[in-house]
Each structure stands twice: as structure tokens, then as C-alpha cells.
């Protein structure tokens, strides 16, 4: 079956945003315990990927075909020379590799850009971990899928049991993504140039209507939920090309117990934790942020029945309420301000506006991103201190090529002036958290991760003090990333 797929305006933005320092790919580190499988190994893993890849979608065997001079959005074109061995690689740490050694390797692999002459993904099978464990690091371009769709990929690559029954032999008709002719691309590019003034004018009118639609809301509710400028921290400068990484886990049941007690959302707890962690990190350097920190939160707009791989996301700036001292009251205040930010975002989205990727040719978008990043770094304007993302993951145990999945730790994009990213994935009773950072501003990400653990311990102790009079609770250490989930305060 032949088809043609042009990237959507939003997907195209993730390609256009890339430059020497800004990357457009995301990734995930999956830690595996193969002790229960006698047949687990690289060859079995490779065969599993080859077998399941057709079910993941045609984009995983397609390369990006960019238009001449970047005057039209790129197409995905089936790669006639696709070779899975160029994408599935094997590497080893000096045994026994611990968490820090593994994270250092992942950071090194992540900071390398994907080769646009090939399909925009790669997997690394990492051996040599302590306790006989293995890790799989998966990297894909954000232009191919958003976080929610990326989480769905685990359904394709993983099983619900170590040795599932053999799948029925099927030969689904492969979708071949064809390339537009040079004539068609040139014609589209010239059409985009001719329509550019009208599109810019139309976009300006849409923006004005949005602004007018928002004015009554701001007059009645204020803008406390969406601060215009955040206090600047050390990692809020011009970012470089390097990336480092750290990861940890906290009990999801504890997070849920706290959010139920306070009547808030899981994401409110995560935002409050990240805000407190950044404050602790700054205070270790003798700096107390003036005012509340803020974070940028990607929000999925994907419907439950939407299986399309294209990005379906919006963005929201949320106050971390770090100007509130009490840890539980801080979570409540994050919830209040987040609700206000959501209401404002909903008000904005009620007035449709085109994606910039649909209005401007990719080459102009690229220049615009570069100029905006340079201006933000020069001016010191910081709309948000970091990116915080929360992706619901599988709630059941998973196995990959026969090995038990012990953790799923995300690694994600850094934005100009936001050299820090916190991303959390819920998985079998835990919240797996990955930190991505720019090493020139945050040399040791494990220090920030320690601040996350300390902030959660403070929050949990405050919860215990409020509830121990009415219900017995269990005091115990935090879960380790490579361990089985431990009993939570909620289950005590």
C-alpha cells in the first residue's frame, strides 16, 4: 500500500527548532532484569525488535525528505536502504556498572544528534550493569511522536509475561511512504512564499482575537497561575550541546496518598517537588530565589481514541509556589495556581490559532527559533526555570525479550534558557523520574536528584504528621530505582 505523509506543522516545528545546541529528540532508559530468562540476550532482543517494528508504524522505517531551501514542510519517505543494524546497537559498561556510570553513558549517547539521512530513532543495548542487569536506551525524534504516543510504544516492544505464546504469523501489508517529486516540492515552496504575507496577516488576526478573548479573564482572575517572568537560576542561561542525566524512583502510592489527602492532582505534587528541589539546589549555592519559581508543562491534547503518531501537545506555564514555606500548603497552592493556568490555557485554546509550522516555511521558523533563543539568553528573560512533564505509563509488570522491566526513566528536551528538564513516568507502583541537564550549568545532576529525594522526604514527613493521629503509617526509606516497589505509607 502506497501513501504520502507530510509532517504536520507541529511535527515540523521539532525539526525546525534544532540547532547546534538545541536537540529535538527524546529518549527513555529501560532497566531490565534477565535473571528469570534462560534465553535472554542481544540476539533475542534484536529479533524481537525486527519482528515488532512493522507494528510500530511506517515512520520507523522512513527518513525525512526536506524540501529545497526549507520552503515547505518535510515528508516522511520509506527508506529503501533501511538496515535495522544501523539503529539497534550493542555497547557495554566496564562491569559492574552502577547507576552513575549508566547515567553518564546515557547522557553521552543522548547528546548526539540523530542522522537525518536515516529513520530518526536508535536503540542501544547496554550490558555490564551490576547485579547482571541490562539496559536498553531508546532515542527517537520528537517530530515522530509525542510523549503519550511514545508510552504506547511500550505496548509494541514489551510483553505482559516473560514467555508469551508465539504470535500468529501474519503478513500485514506494509505502508510505503512515497516521496513527492522535485517539481511538486518546488511548486509547494513557491506557493508558500506567495501565500506568506496573507498567512502572517491571518495569524496576526488570530493572535489579536486570542488576546481580546483573554482580557476579560485576566481582569477577573489575574495571572498568578501563569507568571510572566521567573527568577533566574544558574541553569537559566544560554544552553550548550552537552547533556547529562540522572534518575530515581519514588513510591507512586505515597504520591497518590498525598494528593488524595490534599485533594489535588499527581502533577501538582510533582511540580511542587521539582520547585522545592530547585530551591534547595540554589540555596546550596547561597542563592534564595526572589519570588516563586515556574515551570513549563507540556500538556497532551490527544484524545483517547487518537492513534495518530503526530504530536498532539500544548504548553502551559505553572507557578511552583516556592514562596509558600509549608510543603503541603505549597502543593495546595500549586494546585490553585495550576487550575488558574489551566483555565487561562483553556480560554486561549477556545480561540483557534494555527501552528507556526503551518504559517511559516521551516527555514524561516528555524531562523526565528535561533533569534528567539539568542534574545532570551541576551535579555535574561526567563518565562520558566525548567520543563516538568508527567507521562502516565503502564500500570502492570512488563517484560522485554523475556527480561523483567525494572524501571522506565525518561530523558527529554532542553529549551533555550531552560537547561533543566524533569520528566516522570508512572510504572507499576512507582514514579520513575529522569533529569536532563546542561552540564555547563549543572555539572552534577545527581545533586539535583538528591534535592528531589529530600523534598519528597520533607513532603512525606509533613503528610505523616498530619495523618498519624487518625491512621497508622509506615516510615521507611525511599525506593531505589532498580529495586522492586516497596510498601507505601498508603498501604500501611
- The percentage of the chain sitting over the pLDDT mark of 90, rounded to a whole number, equals 61
Q: Tell me what the pLDDT averaged over the chain comes to.
A: 86
- Cα(309)–Cα(145) distance, rounded to whole angstroms? 5
DSSP state letter for 284: T
| Confidence at residue 123, expressed as pLDDT on a 0 to 100 scale | 95
Q: Which residue has the cell 498519624?
A: 468
Other CB atoms within a 10 A radius of the CB of residue 267 amount to 19
| Confidence at residue 485, expressed as pLDDT on a 0 to 100 scale | 38
- Residues 331-367 as b/e (b if ≥16 CB within 10 A, e otherwise) read bbbbbbbbebbbebbebbeeeebebbbebbbbbbbbe
| Confidence at residue 362, expressed as pLDDT on a 0 to 100 scale | 93
Q: Which residue has the higher pLDDT, 473 or 35?
A: 35
Contacts of 32 by beta carbon, 8 Å cutoff, 6+ apart: 40, 133, 134, 135, 136, 400, 403, 404, 405, 406
Q: Which residue has the higher pLDDT, 42 or 374?
A: 42
Q: Which residue has the higher pLDDT, 302 or 330?
A: 330
Q: How confident is the model over 393-448, as pLDDT tens digits?
A: 888 999 999 999 999 999 999 998 999 999 999 998 899 999 999 999 999 999 99
Q: Which residue has the higher pLDDT, 391 or 386?
A: 386
| Confidence at residue 475, expressed as pLDDT on a 0 to 100 scale | 46
Question: Given a cut of 90, is residue 334 above it in pLDDT?
Answer: yes
Domain 223-389+433-491 top-level CATH class: alpha beta
The domain segmentation of the chain, as residue ranges, is 223-389+433-491
Strand residues in 301-398 grouped as ranges (E): 313-319, 386-391
Q: Are 227 and 319 within 8 A, CB to CB?
A: yes
* Confidence category of residue 483, pLDDT binned at 50, 70, 90: very low
Question: Given a cut of 70, is residue 244 above it in pLDDT?
Answer: yes
Contacts of 76 by beta carbon, 8 Å cutoff, 6+ apart: 5, 6, 7, 58, 59, 62, 63, 64, 65, 177
Q: Residue 172, Cα to own-chain centre: how many angstroms?
A: 31
| Confidence at residue 1, expressed as pLDDT on a 0 to 100 scale | 60
Contacts of 276 by beta carbon, 8 Å cutoff, 6+ apart: 320, 322, 327, 330, 451, 455, 458, 459
How do strand 403-411 and strand 25-33 relate by DSSP bridges?
A: antiparallel
Residues acting as catalytic residues: 142
Give the up-direction half-sphere exposure of residue 421: CA atoms within 13 A in the CB hemisphere.
Answer: 24
**pTM, to two decimals:** 0.89
From residue 246, how far is each of 118, 151, 375 by CA, in Å?
A: 29, 20, 30
Q: How confident is the model over 465-478, as pLDDT tens digits?
A: 988 755 545 444 44
Which of the residue ranges 122-136, 457-471, 474-488 has the most confident prediction, judged by mean pLDDT?
A: 122-136
The terminus-to-terminus CA distance of the chain in angstroms comes to 56
* Confidence category of residue 309, pLDDT binned at 50, 70, 90: low
Give me the mean pLDDT over the 137-144 stretch: 91
Q: Which residue has the higher pLDDT, 33 or 180?
A: 33
| Confidence at residue 167, expressed as pLDDT on a 0 to 100 scale | 56
* Confidence category of residue 379, pLDDT binned at 50, 70, 90: confident
Element (H, E) at 339: helix 327-349
Give me the mean pLDDT over the 172-185 stretch: 79
Give me the mean pLDDT over the 23-48 stretch: 94
- Cα(352)–Cα(349) distance, rounded to whole angstroms? 6
Using DSSP's 3-state secondary structure scheme, residue 492 falls into coil
- The percentage of the chain sitting over the pLDDT mark of 70, rounded to a whole number, equals 86
Q: Are 108 and 39 within 8 A, CB to CB?
A: no
Q: Give the DSSP letter string of 426-465.
A: EETTEEEEEEEE-TTT-S-HHHHHHHHHHHHHHHHHHHHH
| Confidence at residue 227, expressed as pLDDT on a 0 to 100 scale | 64
C-alpha cell, 382: 526567563
Q: Which residue has the higher pLDDT, 168 or 285?
A: 285
- Cα(308)–Cα(438) distance, rounded to whole angstroms? 32
Q: How confident is the model over 250-267, as pLDDT tens digits?
A: 999 999 999 999 999 999
Q: Which residue has the higher pLDDT, 232 or 478?
A: 232
Amino acid at each position: 500500500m502506497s501513501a504520502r505523509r507530510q509532517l504536520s506543522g507541529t511535527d515540523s516545528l521539532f525539526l525546525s527548532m534544532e540547532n547546534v545546541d538545541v536537540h529535538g529528540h527524546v529518549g527513555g532508559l529501560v532497566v531490565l532484569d534477565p535473571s528469570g530468562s534462560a534465553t535472554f540476550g542481544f540476539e533475542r532482543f534484536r529479533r524481537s525488535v525486527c519482528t515488532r517494528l512493522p507494528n510500530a508504524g511506517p515512520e520507523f522505517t522512513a527518513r525525512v525528505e526536506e524540501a529545497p531551501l526549507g520552503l515547505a514542510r518535510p515528508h516522511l519517505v520509506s527508506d529503501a536502504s533501511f538496515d535495522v543494524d544501523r539503529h539497534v546497537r550493542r555497547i557495554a559498561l566496564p562491569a559492574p556498572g552502577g547507576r552513575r556510570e549508566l547515567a553518564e553513558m546515557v547522557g553521552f549517547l543522548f547528546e548526539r544528534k540523530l542522522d537525518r539521512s536515516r529513520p530518526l530513532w536508535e536503540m542501544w543495548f547496554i550490558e555490564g550493569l551490576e547485579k547482571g542487569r541490562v539496559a536498553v536506551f531508546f532515542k527517537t525524534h520528537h517530530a515522530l511522536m509525542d510523549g503519550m504516543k511514545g508510552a504506547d510504544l511500550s505496548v509494541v516492544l514489551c510483553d505482559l509475561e516473560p514467555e508469551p505464546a508465539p504470535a500468529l504469523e501474519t503478513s500485514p501489508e506494509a505502508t510505503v511512504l512515497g516521496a513527492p517529486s522535485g517539481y511538486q516540492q518546488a511548486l509547494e515552496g513557491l506557493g508558500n512564499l506567495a501565500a506568506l504575507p496573507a498567512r502572517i496577516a491571518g495569524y496576526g488576526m488570530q493572535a489579536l482575537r486570542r488576546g481580546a478573548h483573554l482580557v476579560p479573564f485576566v481582569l477577573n482572575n489575574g495571572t498568578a497561575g501563569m507568571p510572566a517572568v521567573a527568577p533566574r537560576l544558574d541553569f537559566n542561561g544560554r544552553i550548550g550541546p552537552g547533556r547529562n542525566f540522572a534518575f530515581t524512583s519514588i513510591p507512586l502510592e505515597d504520591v497518590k496518598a498525598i494528593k488524595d489527602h490534599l485533594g489535588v492532582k499527581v502533577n501538582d505534587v510533582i511540580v511542587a517537588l521539582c520547585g522545592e528541589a530547585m530551591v534547595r539546589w540554589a540555596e546550596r549555592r547561597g542563592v534564595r530565589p526572589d519570588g516563586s519559581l515556574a515551570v513549563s508543562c507540556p500538556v497532551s491534547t490527544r484524545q483517547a481514541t487518537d492513534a495518530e503518531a503526530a504530536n498532539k501537545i500544548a504548553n502551559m506555564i505553572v507557578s511552583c509556589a516556592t514562596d509558600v514555606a509549608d510543603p503541603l500548603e505549597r502543593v495546595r497552592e500549586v494546585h490553585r495556581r495550576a487550575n488558574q493556568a489551566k483555565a487561562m490555557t483553556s480560554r486561549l485554546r477556545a480561540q483557534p490559532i494555527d501552528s507556526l509550522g503551518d504559517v511559516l516555511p521551516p527555514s524561516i521558523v528555524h531562523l526565528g527559533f535561533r533569534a528567539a533563543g539568542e534574545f532570551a539568553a541576551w535579555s535574561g528573560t526567563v518565562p520558566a526555570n525548567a520543563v516538568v512533564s508527567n507521562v502516565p505509563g503502564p500500570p502492570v509488570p512488563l517484560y522485554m525479550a523475556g527480561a523483567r522491566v525494572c524501571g522506565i526513566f525518561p530523558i527529554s528536551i532542553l529549551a533555550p534558557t531552560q537547561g533543566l528538564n524533569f520528566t516522570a513516568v508512572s510504572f507499576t507502583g512507582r514514579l520513575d523520574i529522569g533529569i536532563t541537564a546542561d552540564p555547563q550549568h549543572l555539572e552534577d545532576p545527581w545533586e539535583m536528584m538528591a534535592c528531589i529525594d529530600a523534598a519528597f522526604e520533607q513532603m512525606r514527613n509533613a503528610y505523616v504528621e498530619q495523618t498519624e493521629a487518625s491512621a497508622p503509617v509506615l516510615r521507611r526509606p525511599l525506593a531505589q530505582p532498580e529495586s522492586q516497589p516497596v510498601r507505601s505509607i498508603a498501604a500501611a
